[in-house]
């Protein structure tokens, strides 16, 4: 039998054990590496550990897992199709981004499964007030204000709710450990207890986690290794939209994103995200081009804005928002070398509209078109989407997900596509006119009029 006797401190770097906390590890010399852990001792009277019989993998093909679909499709998709029973998920995000709101809305969708919302941060009154604001039928949702892990696990065992939300993991603590709630040792111990409980009972648990300044989940990444799914809820400054991203998913892809808008009655799913990132223009403007990017399984149209102005006598600047500055510099170099354009004495500003971040080489051509358009003060062809990766030699390269990109462009009423060779097979997409060109120079000649 395993019995807990006392806690020990273990160096996270080398595994050195000590009965008291040490600032510096005498073994590896690391500073601040000691974390408290409960020490488990083998009871001397226990019989010798019995061997288990290993199971041949071929015989244990699991049946496809039944997922709990919330019906909030932006959430379900990021989760890989829904919540897997017995899974543990961490949702991280800055304070105020809307984690508690999303979790309460999630509970409401599973009201018939008697979900349990454990809050260590807010009072039940605050929870009720939020439910009222969200116009949630809170019947069926159970609340608990508790911070001790032992009480929480006992409650879950007894009531076996269909879903448990812990808001937040940093507020939990075990009286077995001396360290403060929120410390690495506490977070890890409490999360470990919950992971074991979820696996044993099949109750899915979602842990809300705060993100530290460095952008990491508190408890330096320890949580990420322990749980099945890690999702991140992000917001951009003053914009109302929120993006849900999967960072780790044992049951699905990590490419998917979910887009929500924070309204007066909680989070609303954004079904047509392209509309959010395209500004409404009545006539073509200079320095603006539209890119079609891929986020997970979906295409998204985004507007790229460039401003190229003379830098006078000072050092010229290259400033990119929502786009990698190094990639911008590379594209400027390609434009200079292969198209003979001179950006040397210009300040270049690049912005992705709506505060969106692009990390897709398929947007290269649109970026180049916006830059040339601003430099030459000539607009980009109206109702046109530019797609393609630009190589150092000035060639245009195909990118993945072409069909989805074109479908999205067609859906939003765009008429022309300029893209790399191999486009003939896509020209049947709706009413789109597709220009397939192999060199950046040809593409820019078509795009910038």
Cβ burial 385-414 (10 Å sphere, 16+ → b, else e): bbbbbbeeebbbbebebbeebbbbbbebeb
- State which of positions 181-210 bind ligand TYD (CB under 6 A): none
Q: Which is nearer to ligand TYD, 24 or 265 (CB)?
A: 265
Pick the binder of ligand TYD from 67, 77, 109, 130 (CB under 6 A).
Answer: 130
Which partner, Mg ion, ligand TYD, none, binds residue 24 by CB below 5 to 8 Å per kind?
A: none
Q: 332-337 contacts: CB < 8 A, separation 24 or more?
A: 332/371, 334/368, 334/390, 334/391, 334/392, 334/394, 334/440, 335/368, 335/371, 335/372, 335/440, 337/394
Q: Which is nearer to Mg ion, 100 or 374 (CB)?
A: 100
- State which of positions 262-281 bind ligand TYD (CB under 6 A): 262, 264-266
100 binds Mg ion (CB under 5 A): yes
Closest by CA to 350, choosing from 388, 416, 315, 302, is 302
How many residues make contact with Mg ion (CB under 5 A)? 1
| DSSP track, 294-347 | EETTEEEEEEEEEEEEE-TTS---EEEESS-HHHHHHHHHHHHHHH----TTEE
| H-helix segments, 324-426 | 325-339, 364-376, 402-411
CA dist 143 and 127 (Å) reads 8
Please choose, out of 98-106, 187-195, 365-373, 405-413, the segment that lies near Mg ion by the rule CB under 5 A.
98-106
93 binds ligand TYD (CB under 6 A): yes
Which partner, Mg ion, ligand TYD, none, binds residue 310 by CB below 5 to 8 Å per kind?
A: none
Number of helices (H), then strands (E), belonging to the chain: the values are: 11, 21
95 binds ligand TYD (CB under 6 A): yes
Which partner, ligand TYD, Mg ion, none, binds residue 210 by CB below 5 to 8 Å per kind?
A: none
Q: Which is nearer to Mg ion, 100 or 274 (CB)?
A: 100
What does the per-residue mask of binding to ligand TYD show for 372-411, with x meaning CB under 6 A? ----------------------------------------
CB of 6 to ligand TYD, least distance (A): 36
Pick the binder of ligand TYD from 70, 100, 179, 286 (CB under 6 A).
Answer: 100
70 binds Mg ion (CB under 5 A): no
CA dist 146 and 359 (Å) reads 41
- Tell me which residue has its CB nearest to Mg ion: 100
Q: Which is nearer to Mg ion, 100 or 429 (CB)?
A: 100
Which partner, Mg ion, ligand TYD, none, binds residue 266 by CB below 5 to 8 Å per kind?
A: ligand TYD
> If you ran DSSP here, which 8-state letter would residue 59 be given?
G
> If you ran DSSP here, which 8-state letter would residue 280 be given?
-
Which partner, ligand TYD, Mg ion, none, binds residue 96 by CB below 5 to 8 Å per kind?
A: ligand TYD
What does the per-residue mask of binding to ligand TYD show for 41-80, with x meaning CB under 6 A? ----------------------------------------
CB of 104 to ligand TYD, least distance (A): 8
- State which of positions 205-264 bind ligand TYD (CB under 6 A): 262, 264
CB of 92 to ligand TYD, least distance (A): 10
Q: Is the CB of residue 229 less than 8 Å from the CB of residue 238? A: no
Which partner, Mg ion, ligand TYD, none, binds residue 143 by CB below 5 to 8 Å per kind?
A: none
CB of 332 to ligand TYD, least distance (A): 39
Which partner, ligand TYD, Mg ion, none, binds residue 265 by CB below 5 to 8 Å per kind?
A: ligand TYD
Which partner, Mg ion, ligand TYD, none, binds residue 262 by CB below 5 to 8 Å per kind?
A: ligand TYD
* Mutual angle of helices 149-159 and 184-201, in 10-degree steps: 10
Residues 6+ apart with CB under 8 A from 185: 35, 36, 37, 177, 179
Closest by CA to 431, choosing from 449, 406, 399, is 406
* Mutual angle of helices 440-447 and 325-339, in 10-degree steps: 90
- Cα dihedral sign, 376-377-382-385: positive
Structure tokens at 293: 């990017």
Site residues (vs Mg ion, CB under 5 A): 100
Site residues (vs ligand TYD, CB under 6 A): 93, 95-101, 130, 133-134, 262, 264-266
């Amino acid at each position: 039998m395993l019995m807990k006797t006392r806690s020990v401190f273990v160096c996270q770097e080398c595994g050195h054990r000590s009965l008291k906390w040490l600032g510096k590890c005498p073994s590896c010399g690391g500073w601040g590496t000691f974390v408290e852990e409960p020490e488990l001792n083998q009871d001397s009277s226990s019989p010798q550990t019995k061997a288990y019989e290993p199971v041949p993998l071929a015989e244990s093909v699991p049946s496809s897992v039944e997922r709990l679909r919330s019906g909030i499709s932006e959430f379900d998709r990021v989760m890989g199709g829904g919540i897997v029973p017995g899974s543990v998920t961490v949702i991280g995000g800055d304070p105020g981004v809307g984690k508690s709101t999303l979790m309460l809305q999630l509970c409401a969708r599973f009201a018939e499964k008697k979900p349990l919302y454990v809050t260590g941060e807010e009072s039940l009154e605050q929870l009720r007030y939020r439910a009222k604001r969200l116009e949630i039928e809170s019947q069926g949702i159970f609340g608990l204000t508790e911070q001790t892990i032992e009480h929480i696990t006992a409650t879950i065992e007894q009531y076996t709710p269909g879903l448990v939300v812990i808001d937040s993991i940093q507020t939990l603590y075990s009286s077995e450990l001396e360290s403060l709630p929120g410390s690495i040792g506490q977070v890890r111990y409490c999360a470990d207890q919950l992971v074991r409980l979820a696996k044993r009972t099949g109750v899915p648990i979602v842990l809300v986690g705060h993100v530290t300044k460095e952008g990491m989940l508190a408890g330096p990444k320890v949580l990420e290794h322990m749980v099945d799914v890690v999702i991140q809820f992000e917001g951009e400054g003053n914009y109302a939209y929120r993006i849900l991203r999967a960072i780790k998913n044992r049951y699905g892809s990590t490419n998917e994103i979910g887009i929500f808008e924070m309204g007066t009655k909680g989070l609303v799913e954004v079904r047509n995200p392209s509309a959010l990132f395209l500004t409404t223009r009545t006539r073509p403007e200079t320095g603006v081009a539209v890119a079609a990017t891929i986020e997970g399984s979906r295409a998204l149209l985004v507007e790229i804005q460039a401003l190229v102005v003379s830098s006078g006598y000072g050092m010229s600047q290259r400033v990119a928002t929502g786009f990698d500055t190094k990639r911008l510099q590379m594209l400027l170099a390609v434009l200079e070398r292969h198209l003979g354009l001179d950006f040397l004495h210009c300040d270049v500003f690049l912005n992705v509209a709506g505060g969106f971040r692009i990390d897709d080489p398929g947007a290269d051509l649109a970026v180049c078109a916006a830059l040339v358009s601003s430099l030459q003060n000539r607009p980009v062809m109206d109702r046109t989407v530019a797609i393609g990766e630009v190589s150092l030699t000035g060639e245009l390269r195909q990118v993945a997900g072409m069909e989805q990109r074109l479908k999205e462009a067609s859906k939003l009423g765009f008429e022309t596509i300029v893209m790399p060779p191999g486009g003939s097979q896509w020209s049947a997409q709706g009413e789109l006119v597709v220009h397939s060109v192999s060199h950046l120079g040809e593409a820019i000649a078509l795009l910038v009029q």
